[in-house]
Amino acid sequence: MTHEQQQQQGLNLDQWLGAYAARANTLSVSEVRALFAVVSRPEVVSLAGGMPYVSALPKELLSQSYETLMASRGDIALQYGSGQGDPVLRDQIRELMALEGIHSSVEDLIITTGSQHGLDLLSGLFLDEGDVVLAEAPSYVGAIGIFRHYEAHIEHVYTDDDGMSPEALQDRINAMLAEGRKIKFLYLVPNFGNPSGVTLSESRRHQILEICKRHHILVIEDNPYGLLYFDEKPPMALRSHNEDGVIYLGSFSKILAPGFRVGYVLAPPAIRDKMVLANESALLCPSSFSQMMISEYLATADWQKQIDTFRGVYRERRDAALQAMHDYLPGVRTTKPNGGFYLWLTLPEGIDSKAMLPLAVKELVAYTPGTAFFGNGAGHDNLRISFSYPTPDNIKLGIKRLSTVINLQTELLDTFGHKGGH
Amino acid sequence: MIPKQHSSDKLVIQVLAGGISHERDISLKSARRVADALTEQGATVIIREPDGNLLDYIAIDRPDVIWPVLHGATGEDGALRDILALTGVPFIGASSEAARLAWDKSIAKTLVSRIGIQTPVSVTLPKEAFKELDADAVLKIVSSSLALPLVVKPARSGSAQGVTVVRNIEDLAKAMIDAYVYCDVAIIERLVQGIELAVSVIDLGAGAIPLPAVEIEPVAGNFGFEERYTAGETNYFVPARLSSSLSERVARTAIEAHELLGLRHMSRIDMIVDESETIWFLEANVQPGLTETSLLPLSILAAKQTLGETYYSLAVAAHRGRG
């Protein structure tokens, strides 16, 4: 831009502003995200991010895998690989999925760069602007971000302690169809959901599959937490009951480590073909090194015992979180998850968790506001606590601080006669 | 024209960044830009977090100069600057005393108004005031005496965090709460409509120099947090589209405010010019943002200077005890 043009039109710090695709408008700087920068300070107890506690993974297990891999197949691990993913790893994943009742061909599995990437590929294949995605209320923030980016309409379906309500699902489908909208899929995190921590009951799984089959709606089952149960196993995967209408997303991020960025997708053959092409188009291939490290780990380490270790760590932290909720926030409703990483809190009337976050930062505790988990602006009176990463003592300290924050905010609201609530 | 400061041996500069404030993210971004620019000038730059190890870091790094690129409390409220002064290492930016006065918007407004600079009529209310008195009655009397629209803001905060423009009386209570989550004291100010301006001031010891005024025109009308830090959401006119006489008055006002508040090396004075060409002081920034979308770097570039030379000149001035 010339000096004269600048003086007429003003200087815009993004000279490519007119060149972006329309969907780029869904991306912008967020004040809440900026506030989260403080969580890297050790004084702050972060109950915000859903990070696995990788310190519970003995690093020598991976060192051994690395040594063996480099000695035996180093040149292959450092080379490009298949766009569909390493066939050995895909075969091992079948064993993993069998734990949740899924039986499949190795041919129908695609390795992705984390299951988040699988979700992005699927959204790219299925979503046009304005298409409807049905999702739990609340739903996973990362999925909402992808659906928004593809300019989909996210229709939340009432969800309670037994997961998504089949009656509410039927109701929402009817409403969307009556509006003439195109429903592309139902997105579910059925086990120890993020952020709610709730699990979809066995009977509801069958009802939901039946409803979706009747309306020819594809189900995306995202299951990163299913093996991380505390007391009793969750019901078998939805995919175990329906091979044609369910796409299953799995991940090594929670049962091993997210640093590998390896996830997988099990899809019906026609969809699988398109996903492989899309995967190749986006990445050429997923990381050979990461896949083969995981493959070596699965072949040589006692990975089931390691998952047991993770379960023990997270169970202790869940217990610490629930005890602290009982001790410091007895009036605040929380879900009581039987696995996974999260508690979902419902705050006293009028408190807006997003508006309260700066006060929490001042009091050295961070959480994720409930609005992050809705595509429609709901969730002001909710917040998510993640108990996976902080130690039990820090969880207690964080929830104690949170109680101070909620008391201060309640006091403010009382002062203004609750006119400042949401 | 910013005079260049020369130093035969290149300086070792410790940049402090981060901190526990609502503006930590902005501080880290600013600091990385500053470090890049100074490194290009040949300086040795070490970025450090101001935590419990700060004094050890100073002993290890043995900096010639410290630049606390910290926004928000501790960084701008004077507390950290007191400690830096005790270490004897020269630092860039205002003294603790000046920072303490300028960082509090209500104090800064009071001080500049004493020398005849106009500032929008306002009231400053700690949250305790609402606890003691009937909040409804207080809000009614405030809104009727100041007249809508109003701006509610934390007395001590930056980056437009906690700032709300209130056009309806029923939104005032929520705006107060949104300000009090950042700071226990809030300012309710009459909204002045006009041209929003930011004048950066550079002071290397030979007198404060105003840089070209930046005129701010947010695409969506409001210059909030997102508009400040998302490239493309605001249009800037540098220099501002003002007549030369008005431009001179604006620059003079910025210098007067900078000097009155005792600011040092650099500052940014935010103002609004209304239809009748009255200049209204809004606030002074002790450590202006230095990110890629910040206003002080824009002014430096508009003055045909480089960021590296200007930042290095500030370091040299601080090292020589000037400015």
Look at residue A94 in the predicted model and tell me its pLDDT: 95
* Chain mean position to CA A273: 25
A164 and A188 Cβ atoms separated by less than 8 Å: yes
Query: Distance (Å) from the C-alpha of residue B57 to the closest C-alpha of chain A?
Result: 17
Residue of B131, B161, B226 lying closest to A29 (CB–CB): B226
Residue B73: name the closest of B290, B221, B286, B307 by CA.
B286
- Is residue B119 scored above 90 in pLDDT? yes
The verdict on A389 and A356 lying in the same domain is: yes
Domain made up of B101-118+192-305: CATH architecture: 2-Layer Sandwich (3.30)
Query: What are phi and psi for residue B195, nearest 5 degrees?
Result: -90, 125
What pLDDT is attached to residue A420? Answer: 59
DSSP state of A381: T
Hey, what are A111's tokens?
Answer: 């390795």
Q: Please indicate, yes or no, if residue A16 is contained in any of the structural domains.
A: no
Q: Which residues of A touch B24 (CB under 8 A)?
A: 34, 37-38, 41
Judging by beta carbons within 10 Å of its beta carbon (0-12, 13-18, 19+), is residue B249 exposed, middle or buried? middle
pLDDT of residue A22: 86
pLDDT value at residue B137: 87
The residue type found at A345 is L
Same domain? A164 vs A105: yes
CA distance A283 to B9: 49
User: Do residues A354 and A246 share a domain?
Assistant: no
What is the distance between the alpha carbons of residues A53 and A391, in angstroms, rounded to a whole number?
9
- Residues A329, A192, single domain; the answer is no
- Specify the pLDDT at position A6: 62
DSSP state of A358: H
Q: Is residue A68 situated within a structural domain?
A: no
Across the interface, whether the CB atoms of A416 and B26 are under 8 A apart is answered no
Q: What is the mean pLDDT of chain B?
A: 91
Residue B50 half-sphere exposure, CB side, CA atoms within 13 Å?
27
pLDDT at residue B103, rounded to an integer: 92
Q: Are residues A282 and A343 in the same domain?
A: no
| A170 shares a domain with A120 | yes
Distance of CA A84 to the CA centre of its chain: 23
Shared domain check, A244 and A111: yes
Interface membership of A14 toward B (CB under 8 Å): yes
B4 CB neighbour count, 10 Å cutoff: 12
DSSP-based three-state secondary structure for B234: strand
Q: Are A226 and A311 in the same domain?
A: no
pLDDT tens digits, one per residue of A65-102:
999 999 999 999 999 999 999 999 999 999 999 999 99
The residue among A265, A282, A300 that closes a domain is: A300
For CATH 3.30.470.20, the residue range(s) in chain B are 101-118+192-305
Q: Whole-angstrom Cα distance, residue B80 to residue A38?
A: 18
CB A143 within 8 A of CB A115: no
Answer for the pair A224, A141: CB distance below 8 angstroms, yes or no: no
Q: How far apart are CA A376 and CA A147, in angstroms?
A: 12
Tell me the average pLDDT across B124-140.
87
Domain with A374 in it: what CATH number? Answer: 3.90.1150.10
Band of the pLDDT at B78, cuts 50, 70, 90? confident
CB contact under 8 A, A358 and B25: no
- DSSP secondary structure letter of residue B116: T
Q: How far apart are CA B39 and CA B27, in angstroms?
A: 18
Together in a domain, A147 and A273: yes
CB-based burial of residue B44 (10 Å sphere; 0-12 exposed, 13-18 middle, 19+ buried)?
middle
Check whether B159 has a pLDDT greater than 80.
no
In chain B, % of residues over pLDDT 70? 96
Instruction: Select from A12, A17, A416 the Cβ nearest to the Cβ of B130.
Output: A416
Q: How confident is the model at residue B7 (pLDDT cuts 50, 70, 90)?
A: low
ipTM: 0.86
Give domain status of residue A202, yes or no: yes
Instruction: Assign A308 to helix, strand or coil.
Output: helix
Which residues neighbour A233 within 8 Å (Cβ) at sequence distance 6 or greater?
A: none
Give the pairing type, strands B195-203 and B214-218. Answer: antiparallel
Q: Is B180 on the interface with A (CB under 8 A)?
A: yes
Contact B106, B122 (CB under 8 A): yes
> What is the model's pLDDT at position B245?
97
Q: Which residues of A touch B217 (CB under 8 A)?
A: 10
Using the 3D structure, point to which of A300, A332, A350 is the last residue of a domain.
A300
Regarding whether A221 and A82 lie in a shared domain, the answer is yes
How many Å apart are CA B164 and CA B166, to the nearest integer?
6
* Confidence (pTM): 0.90
Q: How far is CA A28 from the centre of its chain?
A: 20
Q: How far apart are CA A203 and CA B132, in angstroms?
A: 56
Is A13–B293 a contact, with Cβ atoms under 8 angstroms apart?
A: yes
Answer whether residue B273 shows pLDDT above 90: yes
Does A361 lie at the interface with B, CB-CB under 8 angstroms? Answer: yes
Structure tokens at B49: 């977090």
Which superfamily does B122-190 belong to? ATP-grasp fold, A domain (3.30.1490.20)
Asked if B201 and B208 count as a contact pair (C-beta separation under 8 A), the reply is: yes
Is residue A70 a part of any domain in this protein? no
Query: Residue A3 domain-assigned?
Result: no
Mention every residue, 6+ apart, whose C-beta is less than 8 A from residue A257: A52, A54, A57
* The amino acid at B282: L
Q: Which residues contact A308 (CB under 8 A, 6 or more apart)?
A: none
> Domain boundary residue among A271, A300, A329?
A300
The residue among B92, B95, B108, B81 whose CA lies nearest residue B257 is B108
For residue A417, the model assigns a pLDDT of 79
Range of the domain at A102: 75-300
Indicate which CATH number applies to the domain containing A292.
3.40.640.10
Residues 6+ apart with CB under 8 A from A270: none
Same domain, A154 and A257: yes
* Spatial separation of the C-alpha atoms in residues B65 and B198, rounded to whole Å: 27
How many folded domains does chain A comprise?
2
Residues A146, A217, single domain; the answer is yes
The residues, ordered by sequence, that sit 6+ positions from A305 with a Cβ below 8 Å of its Cβ are: none
Question: Rounded CA gap, A314 and A392, in Å?
Answer: 10
Give yes or no for a contact between B49 and B67, defined as CB atoms under 8 angstroms apart: no
Q: What one-character DSSP code corresponds to residue B213?
A: P
**Sequence ranges of chain B with CATH classification 3.30.1490.20:** 122-190
Which residues of chain A are under the pLDDT cut of 50? none
Give me B37's structure tokens: 């620019």
Smallest Cβ distance to A420: which of B51, B177, B215? B177
Scanning B128-157 for CB atoms below 8 A from A yields 130-131, 135-136
